[in-house]
Structure 1
């Protein structure tokens, strides 16, 4: 089985893709690409059993309704709410609020933060995959699944902070060390130096691991009361088992 991970940014310069080949009780990192453009991402996803994308797959339904109402001049504040209380469901999706409740981590707001630019790019990628015949289910049941590397690391008992950007290269190196210790079956091969030098590459690898968890049914899925929103907003698949379960 081949899974890929995509650390998606608004532009190719900060985007990375990782390919993990799963066989013989091991996972081998066969390739990592930084500076990945749309064509690289689409072709990688077309050839994978599952693609984990570190980016929101949609916007909050209530935010979309709010913008539509604003365009028509009919915005109304829900009765009994004021300030931040009524804006919460505009800023955070159902899945974002579930992740915060389960992990203590708060995903970036796709409607009120710069990650919205990456989501615009992601929307085009999803449309292209669907046009090419790939099943696209924002709940995670199709060719792609939304992942959140920081939450994955936390659930797997690894450090999830202090490894981003050039100023934290030492922290990135420590994370790679801990990841190799926790997953001795993970072979980074010739790509290990890049993982130690680029947090984008490392996040792509983590996203590919999370894609494996989703493919094996070892990640959260929306419940009945969450499925409708997840179908349009997207759903972050959180690992539900230890890291070693991915090769069990």
Structure 2
């Protein structure tokens, strides 16, 4: 069995270029190589990098909950708005997307809410970035079923691999242990001089994990939206969660 050569990329997106990281992995016969890892990345650099990529995973919500969008639209006409009950169950329909509820079932915790948390600012930037990628000629499908771009969640990816991730975003020593495990579990993945930056920067580390999740998407090794949620996922986005281990991402030998 042979494997088709490909390049995947990962973006740890922030509201501004500061805090945004971009990683590119080249996949060849029997192995892979981290060929780029950059910090403080602008939209133009991401758009340029995406041109030669099989899949690019972006760590950011691709949309807002349908119920939240409708609520905000209705709220513009307060006199005509139906009175919500305001209870937690109702508020959660506004706070979380269908993919967030699915992630909650998979890993036992809620992702951050795009409509009630500060990540909403990053999602606004992401909306513009997706538009730029589409304008560049790339197919953008927020459900991830087709096209080049997929929504990813590095923390959830690591948890599906059953890695100990407590404190990894704040503690470089935890990230060092994770990088060492990555090198141990995937000796075919050459991190090269970028390994130290992954230890020093949470953003860089998450961008690499995002690029690995993009590889899972390219191989079809993830759970796509169920048919009954496909249309909603095309509006709200759908998080690609690998259904395989890191070792399973290894390219086959020629």
For the aligned pair, the TM-score class normalised by the smaller chain equals: over 0.9
Residue aligning to 1:245: 248
Q: Offset at 1:82?
A: 4.7
Number of residues paired by the alignment?
244
- Of 73, 76, 97, the match for 1:93: 97
- Which piece of structure 1 moves more, 206-215 or 218-227? 218-227
Determine if the alignment matches structure 1 residue 50 to structure 2 residue 55: yes
Unaligned runs of 5+ in 2: 1-5
Deviations 1:198-243 (A, max 9, x none): 1110100000000000010001100111111100000001111121
- Of 111, 122, 133, the match for 1:107: 111
Runs of 4+ residues deviating >6 angstroms: none
Q: TM-score, normalised by structure 2?
A: 0.93
Unaligned runs of 5+ in 1: none
Residues 47-86 of structure 1 aligned to structure 2 (within 5 Å): 47-73=52-78, 74-77=80-83, 82-86=86-90
Contact 1:6 1:17 in 2 (8 A): yes
Q: TM-score, normalised by structure 1?
A: 0.95
Residue aligning to 2:11: 6
Q: Secondary structure at the match of 1:64?
A: helix
- Which piece of structure 1 moves more, 201-210 or 178-187? 178-187
Deviations 1:64-111 (A, max 9, x none): 000000011133246xx6511111110000000000011112111000
Contact 1:105 1:151 in 2 (8 A): no
Q: Distance in 1 between matches of 2:185 and 2:249?
A: 12
- Of 24, 29, 35, the match for 1:19: 24
Alignment root-mean-square deviation, CA: 1.1
